[in-house]
Chain A
Amino acid sequence: MGTPRFDPSHSVKFDLQRGHVDLDGNRLLVPAEALLDLCRAAGQEPLADFGRRMGTEVGRRVQARLGDATGAASIGEMVEHLGGDVALLGLGSLSVERWGRALVFVVDGSPLGAAGDALLGAVLEGALQRGLGKDVHAVLLDRQDEQARFAILGAAGAEKAEAWLGEGVRWGEVLSRLQGAA
């Protein structure tokens, strides 16, 4: 049994008569700048909760489409579904890099910019937790222009990585050290 393809047809419905936007439930189209202002005022913990809540919706949709095939999905298939749902939220283009044993998510073209990296990381965490049942930590490794790179690590690995990044270690070296520490 093959994995179903991601089909965004009729995913988002605009009911202009009632003034509703539907994506498996009511959605709001809000300006990115206004959302950023709200996130700045909310603080880190509420922002993380808000992002994980958004990611939970993504993971739920992915799990609903893949069903039992979620565990057998290849890297490309999973990125196709995860990236498709992230794109439907308007958060940018999602791709995956694999550095040895390290899983790295790359989000390109997010309208939130660098100020929204914390929100993006929380969205990824919530999506993987809800879709695959794994508690993960998305650690921001690097940002160049419109491209943000997140390492998906466990709690111990995330703590070490953040510590090294705080010391000024480049993200490539951080990944290398993680490989050696494993």
Chain B
Amino acid sequence: MSADQIARLEALLARVQKNSAQPRPVRPALSAAAATEPAPEPEPAHPVEPMLEPEPLEPVAAEEVAIEMAEPEIVSEAPAIEMGVESIEDLDLLDDDIVDITDTPSAAPEAAFAAEEPEEPPASSRRPRAAANMTEALEGVADQLDLEGRQIPIVTPPPESGPQAAPPVPPMVQPPPPADLARSAGMDDLLDDQFAPPLGGPTPEQLGGTVELEAGGASLEIDEPDFQESAPPPQSSPRATSRPLVAPEPEPIEAELVARPIPPPDQAPAAFASRSFRPETFIELLEASLSLGA
């Protein structure tokens, strides 16, 4: 190390010591005004009993508290000053750690860098560069794919998921009626079926015929039911067969009538059936009942 550098370092050290010796601005005490403010007078817990009212605190005591609170602020400033002095005094300046930025760089390193050949960037260091426009991007993709051996047109064909012909809609066909209603072609037939013989009964051809029973040997003649004699209406209009859409007005609710022919546990006497007594008024029935057993 030269004498010039030593002189510079000494001058720097002296300047540092000079600056550290200057007093630093002290921070104001925290909420000094608030600390010196007298504490609020507590409200009495029981206003009815003034004897239990505590005495309010003296404002002097509040100032003492404020002074005690301000002391830690002063203490906190002291270590900063001492640390500044100690850090400078205990600083061990070694020649190896000092880097003189004022020195002019030597020409030897530059020559060394110039002698080296520029290295080619590794393959992984090639960063993709954003294409300026769509054409450049497509060309870049095409170039990359050419390197991989694939041939695709540069211009992307239109997607095939464009407007397509809708599949043919199956015609709406009324579902077949249930099995028990399969024979009914319309409402009239449906109504007629209510009067038709039950399923499994004799067919119209069997009506009026004689069926020979195998076991007993007796003959059974099936009579034609009466409902077959009444011919169905030739052409009934829908209005005639359909129910009225407007419901009739409900009748006023009336109390249920009274006489409930509930047979007693023992059989109802036969004498009751032969009677022809038909009272029209309640008093008539009452008088008749009162006359029983007389």
Contacts and interface: CB of A to CB of B under 8 A. Distances in A.
Interface of A: 6, 70-80, 83, 95-103, 106, 128, 132, 134, 136, 142, 151-154, 156-161, 170-173, 175-176, 178-182
B281 interface: yes
A172 B277 contact: no
Contact of B290 (A6, A99, A157, A161): A157
A79 B285 CA distance: 12
Given A142-B264, A170-B266, A153 B282 contact: no
A154 B266 contact: no
B285 A75 contact: yes
Interface string B245-286: 000000000011111111111111101100101011111011
Interface of B: 255-269, 271-272, 275, 277, 279-283, 285-294
A98 B293 CA distance: 16
A171 B266 CA distance: 8
A103 B260 contact: no
A79 B288 contact: no
Nearest to B258: A96
Contacts of A181: 292-293
Contact of A171 (B256, B264, B272, B288): B264
A82 to B, nearest CB: 9
Q: Which of B256, B260, B271, B289 has the most CB of A within 10 A?
A: B289
Given A75-B259, A80-B255, A182-B292, A136 B286 contact: yes
A178 B272 contact: no
Given A74-B280, A101-B288, A134-B286, A182 B294 contact: yes
B286 A103 contact: yes
B293 A76 contact: no
The 9 closest A-B pairs by CB, nearest first: A157-B293, A176-B269, A103-B289, A172-B264, A78-B282, A96-B258, A154-B290, A101-B288, A178-B292
